[in-house]
Amino acid sequence: MKSALITGITGQDGSYLAEFLLEKGYEVHGIKRRASLFNTQRVDHIYQDPHEPNPKLKLHYGDLTDTSNLTRIISEVQPDEVYNLGAQSHVAVSFEAPEYTADVDGIGTLRLLEAIRFLGLEKKTRFYQASTSELFGLVQETPQKETTPFYPRSPYAAAKLYAYWITVNYRESYGMYACNGILFNHESPRRGETFVTRKITRGLANIALGLEDCLYMGNIDSLRDWGHAKDYVRMQWMMLQQDVAEDFVIGTGKQYSVREFIDWTAKELSIELDFSGEGTEETATVKSVDNNVAPAVKPGDVIMRIDPRYFRPAEVDTLLGDPTRAKEKLGWVPEITAQEMCTEMVAEDLKTAKRYALLKEHGLDLPVSLENG
Ligand code: NDP
Ligand code: GDR
C-alpha cells in the first residue's frame, strides 16, 4: 500500500485529494494546524476514528513554519508521495501579511524538501509542489504555458516563485522526483468563502433569500481561467506517476471575467441583472426575477456595488492557461466546465442559505458569520 502525506489537507484541494487517494487505496496522512475552533470541516466526512484498527486517514498536528515538526512527521510516515498544498493562499491577504506568506509558502517548501533529503528519502519520496498561474502575473504572452516567463505581482506570487525554483533545484541537484503543477484558478463548493467565485455564489444566494442586501466587489474586469478542483487534484496525482518528473501547466484554455461569473450566478438564481456605471460607480441592478427561487429580491434592487477596499495594490488582470503539454503527455483534459461548476456551487450555497433563512425565520441565531470577505 502506498502512503501519501498532504500538507493543507484541511483546505479545498487537500480535501478532494485525500478523497481521491483513499479511493486509490493509499494510506493518507495529513498535516492540520492547531486552531482555536475546529478546522477540519472539509475532511470530517472521511475522518476515521484513530481507535479503529488500521485507519487509512491520519491527521498530524503541524505547521509549515516548524522545521522540526515537519521533519519528525516525514520521518514517522516515510511517505511515498508528498503533496505540498499548504499555503497562505489568498493573494490579497499576502499584501497584508507578506513576511508570513513568504515563510509559509516559500521557506515552508524548502523545509519539506530539506527534510526529505536530510532523512535520506530523496530516492523514495516523490514531491508535488502546488505552483500557481499567479507566477505569470503581469503576463508576457497569451496563453501561458510552461515556457512563458514569470512576472509575479504579489508577495504570494513572489513566495511561490521561490517555492517553484527550489523544487526545480532539488530535482536537479539531488535527483529527487520533484515537480511543479502550475495550476490556474480552480474552485468548487468547498472553495474558501473569500475567493471571488465563492464570495459571489454564497453572497448572491444569501441575497436571494434575504440574508444579505448587497455584494461588494473589487475589480470585476479581471479575467480568469476557472476549472473545477476535482479535475485538478486528479492531475496532481497523475504528475507523480510518470517515469520522469516534469512541470505542467494546468488550466482549461478558456477565460471569463468576474462580471460574467456574477451574471451566471444571478441567472442560476433566476435573476436578470443590468450592469451600469463605470469603475467604482458600477452597479448591478435587478431587471427581473423569479420570486419562487429568489423570494427576497425585486426589480430595481441594487445587489452589487464596487468597494475599492477589495482592489489590490497590484492586480493580475488576465490569466489564460494552455494545458497542451498535460493533454499530450498525460492525457489530462478537464471534465467540468466553469459554467457547470458555477451551477454546482450555487446549488450548494442556496441549500445552505435556505437552512439559515429557516433558522432566522424562527428567531434562531445563524450558525456562521455572514461577513462578506
Ligand atoms: P486553501 O486556502 O483552501 O487551503 C490551504 C491549506 O493550507 C489549508 O489546509 C490551510 O490550513 C493550510 N495552511 C495554511 N497555512 C499553513 C501553515 N502555516 N502550515 C500548514 N498548513 C497551512 O487553498 P487551496 O486548497 O485552494 O489551494 C491548495 C494549494 O494550491 C495552495 O498552496 C495554493 O496556494 C495553491 N494553488 C491554488 C489554486 C486554486 O485556484 N485553488 C491555484 C494554484 C495554486 P487551515 O485550514 O488551517 O487554514
Ligand atoms: P486569485 O483568486 O487572486 O486569482 O488567486 P481570487 O478569487 O481571490 O481573485 C480572482 C480575481 O477576482 C478579483 N476580485 C476579487 N477577488 C476577491 N477575492 N474578492 C473580491 O471581492 C473581488 N473582486 C474582484 C481579484 O482582484 C482577482 O483579479 C487564486 C488563489 O487560489 C491562489 O492561491 C491561486 O494561486 C490563484 O488563484 C491561481
Indicate the SS3 state at residue 149.
coil
Ligand nearest to the CA of 198: 2
pLDDT at 368: 60
CA–centroid distance, residue 256 to ligand 1 (Å) = 23
Note the pLDDT tens digit of each residue in 179-219.
Answer: 999 999 999 999 999 999 999 999 999 999 999 999 999 99
* 100 is a catalytic site residue: no
Q: Which amino acid is at 26?
A: Y
Ligand 1 close to Cβ of residue 186 (< 6 A): yes
Tell me: the pLDDT tens digits for 96-149?
999 999 999 999 999 999 999 999 999 999 999 999 999 999 999 999 999 999
CB of residue 195 inside a 6 A radius of ligand 2: yes
CA of 196 to the centre of ligand 2 (A): 5
**Would you list the DSSP string of 2-62?**
-EEEEETTTSHHHHHHHHHHHHTT-EEEEEE---SS---TTTGGG---TTSSS-SEEEEE-
Atom of ligand 2 nearest to the CA of 157: 35
Q: Record the pTM.
A: 0.97
Q: What is the pLDDT of residue 247?
A: 98
**Phi/psi of residue 40, each to 5°?**
-110, 20
Assigned CATH for 3-183? 3.40.50.720
Which ligand has its closest atom nearest to the C-alpha of 217? 2
SS3 at position 179: strand
- Summarised one tens digit per residue, pLDDT across range 53-74 is 889 999 999 999 999 999 999 9
- From-to residues of CATH 3.40.50.720 in the chain: 3-183
Using the predicted structure, report yes or no on whether residue 365 has a pLDDT greater than 80: no
Nearest CA to ligand 2 atom 10: 196
Does the beta carbon of 130 sit less than 6 angstroms from any atom of ligand 2? no
Partners of 29 in the β-ladder: 5, 58
For ligand 1, is residue 64 a contact (CB within 6 Å)? yes
- Say how many CA atoms lie within 13 Å of 254 toward its Cβ: 13
Query: For ligand 1, is residue 7 a contact (CB within 6 Å)?
Result: yes
Question: Residue 193 catalytic?
Answer: no
Range(s) within the chain of domains with CATH label 3.90.25.10: 196-223+257-316+337-362
Per the annotation, the verdict on 132 as an active-site residue is: yes
Distance 105 CA to ligand 1 centre (A): 9
- The pLDDT > 70 percentage for the chain reads 98
Q: Among the atoms of ligand 1, which is closest to the Cα of residue 64? A: 19
- Of 328, 322, 355, 361, the closest CA to residue 147 belongs to 322
Confidence category of residue 367, pLDDT binned at 50, 70, 90: low
The share of the chain scoring above pLDDT 90, in percent, equals: 94
In CATH, what number does 196-223+257-316+337-362 get? 3.90.25.10
Q: Copy the grid coordinates of residue 178.
A: 520533484
Any ligand 2 atom below 6 A from CB of 84: no
Ligand 1, pocket-test mutation among 13, 40, 162, most atoms within 8 A of CB: 13
Q: What is the mean pLDDT of residues 311-324?
A: 98
Q: 259 CB under 6 A from ligand 1?
A: no
Which pLDDT score, from 0 to 100, does residue 327 have? Answer: 97
Q: Which ligand is nearest to the CA of 84?
A: 1
- In tens, the pLDDT along 212-263 reads 999 999 999 999 999 999 999 999 999 999 999 999 999 999 999 999 999 9
Is the pLDDT score of 342 beyond 90?
A: yes
Q: Using CB atoms within 10 Å of the CB of residue 94, give its burial: 0 to 12 exposed, 13 to 18 middle, 19+ buried.
A: buried
Could you say which ligand is closest to the alpha carbon of residue 35? 1
Residue corresponding to grid cell 466553469: 338
Centre of ligand 1 to C-alpha 89, Å, is 5
CA distance 86 to 65: 11
